[in-house]
């Protein structure tokens, strides 16, 4: 537990330092009402539960239902392993195919590439992205982006390394998620784009080389450190 606390404290310290060096402010606090861009912080700590220690970023919340993606869970799978149909004749897709993907949720895992993969970025490309919260954008059509940016040139062009990829998503029918919140399954939070970027994107996608296989594997695949840091920021 001491080691885990030290890692969490170091993560929080790095975020605080980032906000002091002239970059946009970094913050996170509790939220009263569910909305697009909110964070769901799991109360569940049972490691046997799929939802234990997750932090979910809400992409949409409407009267017709809610969708979000888990920000802090990943695996050693690359996009190519999950979606063998990746088009290697396109340079953009070829580079994306080697990226490690996050686990966005249990829904849509059996869908085609264009329906199962969600891409988030901290950079805006007009016509290709839509804002979720200030500083965090969702790619509208990944295949169209790959075709447009195949030459990887031009100002404002989103490069493969600018994207965080997630396979699958988390979804709720109308009223279902609010019922879960009322039942105490989730804590609602709001955070700045820089917090989401530094505490979730960069930290969770960090990898190390596994000595026995030589493959790159996630440092915090289950997302415990990012989840604990989020709870600490909320005073939990």
Q: pTM of the entire structure?
A: 0.83
- Residue 100's domain comprises 2-233
User: CA separation (Å) from 144 to 90, 134, 150, 167?
Assistant: 12, 23, 10, 18
- For residue 119, the domain's CATH number is 3.40.1740.10
Mean pLDDT of 5-23: 42
Mean pLDDT of 180-194: 95
Considering only CA atoms, give the Rg of the chain: 17
The tally of domains found in the chain comes to 1
Give 209's pLDDT tier (boundaries 50, 70, 90): low
Write the pLDDT tens digit of every residue in 77-96.
Answer: 788 888 777 766 788 888 88
> How far is residue 41's CA from residue 70's CA, in Å, rounded to a whole number?
10
């Amino acid at each position: 537990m001491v080691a885990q606390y030290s890692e969490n404290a170091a993560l929080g310290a790095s975020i605080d330092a980032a906000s002091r060096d002239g970059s946009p402010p970094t913050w996170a606090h509790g939220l009263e009402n569910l909305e697009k861009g909110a964070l769901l912080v799991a109360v569940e700590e049972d490691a046997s539960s799929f939802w234990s220690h997750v932090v979910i970023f809400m992409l949409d919340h409407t009267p017709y239902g809610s969708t979000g993606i888990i920000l802090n869970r990943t695996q050693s799978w690359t996009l190519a392993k999950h979606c063998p149909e990746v088009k290697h004749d396109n340079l953009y897709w070829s580079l994306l195919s080697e990226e490690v993907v996050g686990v966005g949720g249990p829904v849509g895992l059996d869908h085609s590439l264009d329906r199962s993969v969600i891409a988030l970025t901290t950079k805006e490309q007009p016509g290709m992205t839509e804002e979720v919260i200030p500083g965090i954008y969702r790619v509208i059509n990944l295949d169209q982006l790959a075709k447009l940016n195949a030459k990887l040139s031009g100002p404002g062009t989103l490069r493969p390394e600018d994207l965080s990829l997630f396979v699958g998503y988390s979804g709720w029918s109308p009223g279902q998620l609010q019922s879960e919140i009322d039942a105490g399954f989730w804590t609602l939070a709001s955070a700045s784009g820089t917090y989401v970027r530094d505490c979730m994107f960069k930290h969770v996608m960090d990898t190390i080389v596994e000595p026995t296989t030589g493959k790159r594997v996630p440092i915090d695949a289950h997302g415990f450190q990012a989840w604990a840091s989020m709870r600490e920021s909320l005073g939990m």
